[in-house]
């Protein structure tokens, strides 16, 4: 039997090689689920009648792992990962860097200032929206979300300089 006579491999890889995007995504989800389940071992599970703090993260990890496995097994119809173009890679990196900045700045600037600055950056610089809309959305979202979480739900959020 020659290479031309071989049955198709259902898209996992072929003679030209390469993993398909959907299968790779499924495997990444499965790996993330295994990591979450492994890290969750420090928390007590409790029981079904009285679940502990580790119950829901483990249940979500099982669901995520099953979904990832299903995608990896049933996938194969997408393009090869090596052939995938990344036209929005720069934008994705900028967004990740901005989120990293927000994570670092949250304690120093406080929730309201950090969220306002992040939204101004996302909407004004990345998306290039009109300045009036950017200011209204950034100010409104940072204040209203603070009201909901800190005041109504009593989630302790960091305050910035001068208690802002």
The reported pTM is 0.65
The residues spanned by each domain of the chain are 21-83, 89-163
pLDDT per position as a tens digit, 39-54: 999 999 998 899 999 9
pLDDT-flagged residues of the chain (< 70): 1-17
Tally helices (H) and strands (E) across the chain.
5, 0
């Amino acid at each position: 039997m020659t290479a031309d006579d071989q049955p198709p491999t259902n898209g996992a890889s072929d003679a030209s090689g390469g993993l398909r995007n959907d299968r790779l995504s499924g495997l990444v989800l499965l790996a993330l689920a295994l990591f979450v389940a492994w890290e969750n071992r420090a928390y007590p599970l409790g029981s079904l009648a009285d679940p502990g703090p580790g119950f829901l993260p483990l249940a979500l990890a099982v669901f995520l792992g099953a979904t990832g496995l299903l995608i990896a097994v049933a996938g194969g119809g997408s393009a090869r990962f090596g052939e995938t173009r990344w036209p929005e890679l720069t934008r994705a990196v900028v967004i990740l860097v901005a989120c990293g900045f927000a994570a670092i700045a949250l304690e120093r600037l406080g929730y309201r200032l950090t969220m306002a600055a992040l939204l101004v950056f996302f909407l004004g610089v990345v998306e290039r929206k009109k300045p009036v809309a950017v200011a209204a959305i950034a100010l409104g979202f940072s204040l209203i979300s603070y009201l909901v979480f800190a005041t109504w739900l009593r989630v302790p959020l960091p305050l910035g300089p001068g208690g802002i």
